[in-house]
Structure 1
């Protein structure tokens, strides 16, 4: 019998998760099917009731449900509790667990690039920023500061994780060796022309990590590369959080070196994927 998986969030029109996981099922010969289930907040309770009735074998969770869905799990991992948000539901026996694989997704590219974190500045204070902060702490960052255009939100995040707070207007004055963009600035569409950081303050010896991966090269990443900074792509975070989800569900490890070009082709076109 085909095992059912899916992703919930709202909106979900452009989710790449079905491509990733259905490819994984095919690659390993697993009888599974994964689909996008657009679920507005008011429909979450009814969906989770159906999730258990079917029952579905696993679930990815994205905005706006990463915190609310925790109440529908039987247990939440220590990491999920630490972050205060989860993105994966999986079964162990008859127990439905909630986990956060975004932290692993964030950390893995930095480890593979051999980058020492040092002092880090997190640009943005939403849900993605929480996973970033926990990841930076796990990597042993010497200092972590958060900044956002709304001071109150930055202070709330800083208070939850014992961070420094930097005024948005003074963000370039913070001595960051790593700057992480956890805002939607640079995202394909109406935000594409924006960057969260002044280009004139970027340079060699810095690293930037842009969680936005569409377009392939955001303004922030392009300006950082031009200035001689090391650039880490948010696509790698997406790849590794999905690899960890698939492992939790199936015990199999998706090969990132095969998955990455598949996603690049879907996002940017075949010519760029080959390049």
Structure 2
């Protein structure tokens, strides 16, 4: 039986995963398929697992990274601590199905960020407080980098509003991570509202967005001499890690 992998989320208009894995399987002559399961409601998840007996692994994207947890039997330690899952390993023993959740965004982000971090990147400013920021916080904590998050919603602990980001904060927090969808195609003209005039060549601007290759956020950082990076390598690394988990 041909192995099947897939992605669940909604909407799935531009899925990196399907293209990436389809090309990988063709190139490496792997007898497997990767399908998109666009589901409007998380409750449909159980039907997908039940109706696809050849399904051995799933990726999870927006808006289900947190909601999916209620349907899983087990979580690995990191996924449990973060409270978000983007990879599911499916084991079938006779009629029994065992679903284990992982978070490979951690691996993707750390692998991509680490080579760029200098000893003066001791404090970070995370833009956005959605699901993606959870993995980022986990990695920063692991690397011993202090962080604070900017939010447009009601402020929680360790969060600030965008209007609080001033010259002093920009001078202190030399690592700035965009964990919002601002700048993503087709709305390429958008960018997080921070005072870019205070960006310096010591700053590192990391954007989780990967389409377009260079966002307005990155462009504005580059103009000030900052090091900039997009989210493509993070995406690539988390996908490879998912595959490793499914086949371990």
Instruction: Report the TM-score, using the length of structure 2 for normalisation.
Output: 0.90
Q: Deviations over 1:52-98 (max 9, x none)?
A: 44321100100111111112111011111111110000135743210
- DSSP 3-state at the match of 2:165: helix
- Preserved contact between residue 22 and residue 34 of structure 1 (Cα < 8 Å): yes
Query: Which residue does the alignment assign to 1:68?
Result: 67
For residues 189 and 211 of structure 2, the distance between their equivalents in structure 1, rounded to whole angstroms, comes to 9
Q: Does 1:169 align with 2:158?
A: no
Report if the CA contact (8 A) 1:196-1:220 is conserved.
no
For structure 1, which runs of at least 5 residues remain unmatched after alignment? 159-163, 252-275
Alignment partner, residue 231 of structure 2: 234
CA contact (8 A) 1:5 1:33 kept: yes
Question: What's the counterpart of residue 88 of structure 2?
Answer: 89
Counterparts of 1:212 and 1:183, CA distance in 2: 8
Aligned residues: 239
Distance in 2 (alpha carbons) for counterparts of 1:37 and 1:50: 8
- What is the alpha-carbon distance in structure 2 between the residues aligned to residue 179 and residue 86 of structure 1? 24
Q: 2:69·2:101 contact (CA, 8 Å) conserved in 1? A: yes
1:186-236 Cα shifts (integer Å, max 9, x gaps): 122235233342220111111110111211111110110110111121111
**How many angstroms apart in 1 are the aligned matches of 2:161 and 2:44?**
41
What residue in structure 2 maps to residue 202 of structure 1?
Answer: 199
Q: Distance in 2 between matches of 1:241 and 1:38?
A: 20
Contact 1:197–1:220 (8 Å) recurs in 2? no
Q: Which residue of 2 aligns with 1:144?
A: 147
- Cα RMSD of the aligned pairs, angstroms, is 1.8
Give unmatched runs, 5+ long, in structure 2: none
Contact between 1:183 and 1:196, CA under 8 Å: does it hold in 2? Answer: no
How many angstroms does 1:122 deviate by?
A: 0.5
Q: Aligned to 2:212, which of 207, 212, 215?
A: 215
| Alignment partner of 2:115 out of 112, 122, 125 | 112
**What is the CA–CA distance in structure 1 between the aligned matches of 2:237 and 2:67, rounded to whole Å?**
23
**In 1, are the aligned partners of 2:56 and 2:91 still within 8 Å (CA)?**
no
- For the 8 Å contact 1:83–1:134, the answer to whether it is kept is yes
- What's 1:134 paired with? 138
Query: Which sits farther off after the overlay, 46-55 or 223-232?
Result: 46-55
* Residues 149-200 of structure 1: per-residue CA shift (max 9 Å, x gap): 22x2x41xx4xxxxx3333102244220200001121122235233342220
Q: Which structure has the highest strand share of the two?
A: 2
Whether the aligned pair in 2 keeps the contact of 1:101 and 1:245 (CA below 8 Å) is: yes
Q: Secondary structure at the match of 1:166?
A: strand
Distance in structure 2 (CA, Å) of the matches to 1:193 and 1:74: 40
TM-score (norm 1): 0.81
